[in-house]
Chains A and B, each alone.
Chain A
Amino acid sequence: GAVVSQHPSRVICKSGTSVKIECRSLDFQATTMFWYRQFPKQSLMLMATSNEGSKATYEQGVEKDKFLINHASLTLSTLTVTSAHPEDSSFYICSAKTPYSNQPQHFGDGTRLSIL
């Protein structure tokens, strides 16, 4: 089946650091990638939709200058959490999808971000 690789799986860093998370589709071309955030015991909340070669579309309440998204190729999207603070600590998950309708999104294994 389709494989999405997310890296790193865990990051622990000091407040004020910027952190980059990579999401790669390994065996298919993903015209669209999605970034989610999950708080403990809650569902996945969509942060932004990333389209290859264009600007990401952010959901309401998500700061685009805080969460920089780059989708430079059909197999790679990156999320950079800029000047991270403790409240940014969370589980971040990406997903990728082919351009065809009625095909599932496939998810990476997530990144646990802990800001001290």
Chain B
Amino acid sequence: DQQVKQNSPSLSVQEGRISILNCDYTNSMFDYFLWYKKYPAEGPTFLISISSIKDKNEDGRFTVFLNKSAKHLSLHIVPSQPGDSAVYFCAASARNAGNMLTFGGGTRLMVKP
């Protein structure tokens, strides 16, 4: 049973527009959520995170929104740049589970010039 799901395997966006990547989870014990960016043959790079006590966290062009009642989070990138093209993974953890990360399946973002 997948506890963290990214239902869109890919997303294509025009440069300068907004990219919205979505993630759903089922485990109500998750209290910390993260987004990572990954290029092929490299490890994931941490982008932004949010604690369950917040519903929004912003860092430059990246904003993460958390809707606890819907068990949904999203990553907004605006404006999108060609260098943002990569695979984006959302991940979740629970303090009572040793902060172990559970990853979604990833969404491949392609930003077209």
Residues of A within 8 A of B (CB): 1, 4, 6, 32, 34, 42-44, 46, 49, 57, 91, 93, 95, 97, 101-102, 104-110, 112
Closest to B44 in A: A107
On whether the beta carbons of B34 and A104 are closer than 8 Å, the reply is yes
Of B41, B49, B89, B98, which is within 8 A of A104 by CB?
Answer: B49
Q: Are A104 and B51 in contact (CB under 8 A)?
A: no
Q: Which 8 A-B pairs have the closest CB atoms?
A: A107-B43, A104-B46, A109-B43, A43-B103, A43-B105, A110-B43, A107-B44, A93-B43
Provide the residues of chain B in CB contact with A105, threshold 8 Å: 34, 46, 99, 101
- Interface on B for A, CB 8 Å cutoff? 31-32, 34, 36, 41-46, 49, 51, 89, 95, 98-106
Does B41 lie within 8 Å of A44, measured CB to CB? no
Contact A112 B98 (CB under 8 A): no
- Contacting residues, chain A, for B106 (C-beta < 8 A): 43
Residues of A within 8 A of B105 (CB): 42-43
Shortest distance from the beta carbon of A90 to any chain B beta carbon, whole Å: 12
Contact between A102 and B51 (Cβ–Cβ < 8 Å)? yes
How many angstroms from the CA of A65 to the CA of B103 in the assembled complex? 25
